[in-house]
Copies of this chain bind each other. A is one copy, B any other.
């Protein structure tokens, strides 16, 4: 069946769509009440975030827009040290969108939400003219434990910088699918709950965490360096990139430092805790390729430097404009 404008009218067609697809997959006691708002237990400190997802194609190797829409918001909550609890989701459907695709996407969201330990408590569906596109907004609430305080502005000289795994997989998977390039690259799209809780519960002094999405590692570390008024120095050789993605980047002239990922994070820890932090990442799900990739050094404030294997140093700037559109 195809989506029509009537599915967005707020009448019976909307109700039927919700019952057939969203209620079926997202069913839980809160959502079942079908009130204007979900009323749920709260906490003394909460984290809130939102993200819209417009990735094309909606199905790609290693994931789909549904899995992505849960992981993206869950990971943003995790990065502030929160325990993700609730999600809302807003669907904007273009006329002509396929309801079978929507069912698969809803099933994938439900599965990923279960993995990430979050409950989908509220939703909304709108329909617009167009060519069958599917856009999903998720917003999330997490509970922040009293003792957690992370901030992009907390990094200081002597801290070490870690990356939780290979760069560029999501970006390369999307681009390969869009350009019809044959390879076995899969998106890394994943919720990082286990990794973050292992790290935070280990006693490691974590200064800042950020998932490495749009804009890539280069952009994230520039945000850290700017907010903390510090200088970061990366070892190019230490940055993990799979052989296949490296080859893909060389052919297309792409730099893994600016490629988007959907299941990777970078974390800055106190220098003496770096080894322990690495062990935590490596033993966690999705963290097997984690590495220490650099450190905070004395140097020009707000700058990120990259030491190349042949002994050179170049400045890593933020991504400007030319990133792959509709990657997430």
Contacts and interface: CB of A to CB of B under 8 A. Distances in A.
Given A6-B322, A12-B320, A90-B137, A46 B40 contact: yes
Number of copies of this chain in the oligomer?
Answer: 2
A11 B319 contact: yes
24 contacts: A10-B213, A11-B214, A11-B319, A11-B321, A11-B322, A12-B320, A13-B320, A14-B214, A35-B79, A35-B150, A37-B82, A37-B142, A38-B49, A40-B48, A41-B44, A46-B46, A48-B122, A50-B139, A54-B128, A92-B135, A124-B137, A135-B135, A137-B139, A139-B139
A73 to B, nearest CB: 9
Interface string A101-125: 0000000000000000000011111
A50 B90 CA distance: 7
Nearest to A325: B5
A328 B124 CA distance: 12
A47 B38 CA distance: 5
B38 A321 contact: no
A141 B92 contact: no
A150 B33 CA distance: 11
Given A9-B319, A12-B321, A40-B46, 6 more contacts: A11-B320, A33-B151, A39-B81, A39-B144, A48-B121, A90-B137
Most chain-B CB neighbours within 10 Å: which of A12, A50, A125, A144?
A50
Interface residues of A, number: 89
Interface in A185-217: 210-211, 213-216
Contacts of A121: 48
B321 A48 contact: no
Which 6 residue pairs across A and B have the least CB separation, nearest first?
A: A10-B214, A11-B319, A139-B139, A9-B323, A6-B321, A50-B88
Contacts of A36: 49, 75-77, 79-80, 210-211
B318 A49 contact: no
Contacts of A260: 10
Contacts of A213: 10
A77 B37 contact: yes
Contacts of A124: 50-52, 137
A86 B49 CA distance: 11
B49 A92 contact: no
Nearest to A41: B45
Interface string A1-25: 0001111111111110000000000
Contact of A52 (B4, B37, B126, B320): B126
A202 to B, nearest CB: 21
A80 B37 contact: yes
A253 B78 CA distance: 52
B41 A152 contact: no
B92 A48 contact: no
A323 B12 CA distance: 10
A143 interface: yes
Contacts of A92: 52, 54, 92, 135, 137
A42 interface: yes
